Each structure stands twice: as structure tokens, then as C-alpha cells.
């Protein structure tokens, strides 16, 4: 496999449908990606298989203990010479972006640690994780969905995972702009017509229309993206119109 994902979670069953379905399922069957899901409760040392405890200093909730998570990671990486990124899924992390996905896709292996409900002992953050990632400014019940988001985004960047090799390079964000509107048959659906230019067969005109629609859509919905997008002088002229 070109990349291997090791997921540490207390709820491995959450990953089974995701890892065996559609593009991700197919990529695993083809051996393009590999994924291992480990229940870190297995690495707890006491007879009750404890993974969390009450916080020092009091206050509500439970905190994930360091021992099981450290032991699970050390077990995974026992015979690994180059240290892979160890990603802690948390709403306190750095924002996960398309740029971050592209960077992570250059590694051979990624370790993803998911918490559930509770917080992590700070030593997991400071002495085990190499990076803490958030998938957005909202709070999930656990890091599992976040880990699936990261695995999904990274996997589709691996050569061969998407059927169409140009698809990953052309979609929203990697270009820095939102995608243009797309249509398929029929040319007239209930009186709603496909833009004439798309039926014209004039590929230069079609490319120009698509570029402008991308610019227009980005301006209307996500003007913040235009600050970092690669724009030509013609793009800028269109936006000033």
C-alpha cells in the first residue's frame, strides 16, 4: 500500500462500514491504501480495562489516561524506523484543510488517535502526538468522525484511488476556488435549461464560462478564499466588473 492508516479508538465498529464501502473500500481491495483499527482498551493494564479517570483538581467529566494510548502507539511503532505523524483528533487542534491533507498524503503511514466524550491527559498531547487536528469549529461526541474525514480526504489524493486522475487536482479548494456548476442530460428539465454555451461545443468558450462561474460562486459564497487563490489578470478584471 502507498499509505497505511492506524486508528486508535474505543469504538472500532464505527469504522467498518466506512472502510469497506465505495472508493475507500475499493482502494483497500486494490491494495492502494491500508487501514488498521485498534481498540486501545486492549492496552489498558488493570483487570477492569480502565481507559479513563477523574481529573486531578476535581471538576466534572472523565479524562483519557495516558498509559493505554502510549502503550498502543508504542506497540504499533515498535519496529518502525521512520517516525510517522501521530495525529490527535480534537476540537482544540489546528484546522484540517485541503493543504494539510496534501501534506499528510506524502507520508507512508499515519497514526490517528480518537477520544470519545472525554478529554485527553495533557501528556498525550505534549509527549505522544506530533500534531493535533480539528475538522471544524463544532464539537463531536468523539474523534472517530474526524479521523474518517482525514482518512477520506487523504486517501482520494493517493494515485489510483480516484478513477479519474485529474479529478483530485481540479476540485474545489485544491484550485483555491469553488467548483463551477455542472449539468447532464436532459438539456431541458421541466423548463429549466442547461446554459447554451455548454451545448455549443466551443471548448474555449466553455472553459471561460466555467472559470467565471467558479470566480462568481467563490465571490458570492466564500469571498475569504479569493485572498489566497491564484488569480490571473483576466480573473481580477472579471471580479471588478
Binding site for ligand ADE (CB under 6 A): 89-91, 134-136, 138-140, 143, 146
CB of 11 to ligand ADE, least distance (A): 13
Residue nearest to ligand ADE (CB): 146
Helix and strand totals (H; E) in the chain: 10, 10
CB of 87 to ligand ADE, least distance (A): 10
Q: What's 194's DSSP letter? A: P
The answer to whether the peptide bond before residue 186 is cis (omega within 30 degrees of 0) is yes
CB of 130 to ligand ADE, least distance (A): 16
Query: Does residue 198 contact residue 126 with C-beta atoms inside 8 Å?
Result: no
Q: Select which of 36, 67, 102, 118 is catalytic.
A: 118
109 is catalytic: no
Separation CA 224–CA 20 (nearest Å): 36
| Residues flagged as binding site | 115, 135-140
Instruction: Output the CA–CA distances (angstroms, integers) from residue 120 to 48, 87, 93, 95, 134, in the order listed.
Output: 19, 13, 12, 18, 14
CB of 144 to ligand ADE, least distance (A): 8
118 is catalytic: yes
171 is catalytic: yes
Q: Select which of 91, 102, 152, 211 is catalytic.
A: 91
Q: Select which of 36, 152, 171, 179 is catalytic.
A: 171
CB of 131 to ligand ADE, least distance (A): 12
91 is catalytic: yes
Instruction: Output the CA–CA distances (angstroms, integers) from residue 188 to 197, 198, 199, 201, in the order listed.
Output: 14, 13, 12, 17
Q: CB nearer to ligand ADE: give 44 or 90.
A: 90
Closest to 118 in 3D by CA, of 68, 46, 154, 48: 68
Facing residues of 119 across strands?
A: 63
| Residues flagged as binding site for S-adenosyl-L-methionine | 115, 135-140
Give, in degrees to the nearest 5, the angle at Cα 99 between 208 and 141: 120
**In terms of DSSP H, where are the helices of the chain?**
16-20, 22-29, 66-76, 98-104, 122-127, 144-155, 167-170, 203-221, 223-226, 233-240
Q: CB nearer to ligand ADE: give 122 or 196.
A: 122
Residues that are catalytic: 91, 118, 156, 171
Amino acid at each position: 500500500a502507498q499509505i497505511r492508516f492506524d486508528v486508535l479508538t474505543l469504538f472500532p465498529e464505527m469504522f467498518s462500514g466506512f472502510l469497506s464501502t465505495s472508493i475507500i473500500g475499493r482502494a483497500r481491495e486494490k491494495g492502494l491504501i491500508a487501514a488498521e483499527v485498534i481498540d486501545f482498551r486492549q492496552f489498558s493494564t488493570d483487570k477492569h480495562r480502565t481507559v479513563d479517570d477523574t481529573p486531578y483538581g476535581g471538576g466534572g467529566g472523565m479524562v483519557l489516561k495516558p498509559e493505554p494510548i502510549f502503550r498502543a502507539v508504542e506497540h504499533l511503532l515498535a519496529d518502525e524506523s521512520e517516525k510517522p505523524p501521530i495525529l490527535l483528533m480534537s476540537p482544540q487542534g489546528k484546522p484540517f484543510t485541503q493543504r494539510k491533507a496534501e501534506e499528510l498524503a506524502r507520508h507512508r503511514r499515519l497514526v490517528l488517535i480518537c477520544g470519545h466524550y472525554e478529554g485527553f491527559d495533557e501528556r498525550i498531547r505534549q509527549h505522544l502526538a506530533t500534531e493535533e487536528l480539528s475538522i471544524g469549529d463544532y464539537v463531536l461526541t468523539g474523534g472517530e468522525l474526524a479521523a474518517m474525514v482525514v482518512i477520506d480526504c487523504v486517501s482520494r489524493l493517493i494515485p489510483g484511488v480516484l478513477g479519474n486522475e485529474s479529478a483530485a487536482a481540479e476540485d474545489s479548494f485544491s484550485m483555491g476556488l469553488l467548483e463551477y456548476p455542472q449539468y447532464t442530460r436532459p438539456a431541458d428539465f421541466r423548463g429549466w435549461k442547461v446554459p447554451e454555451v455548454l451545448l455549443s461545443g466551443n471548448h474555449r468558450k466553455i472553459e471561460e464560462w466555467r472559470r467565471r462561474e467558479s470566480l462568481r460562486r467563490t465571490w458570492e459564497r466564500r469571498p475569504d478564499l479569493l485572498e489566497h487563490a491564484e488569480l490571473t489578470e483576466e480573473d481580477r478584471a472579471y471580479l471588478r466588473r
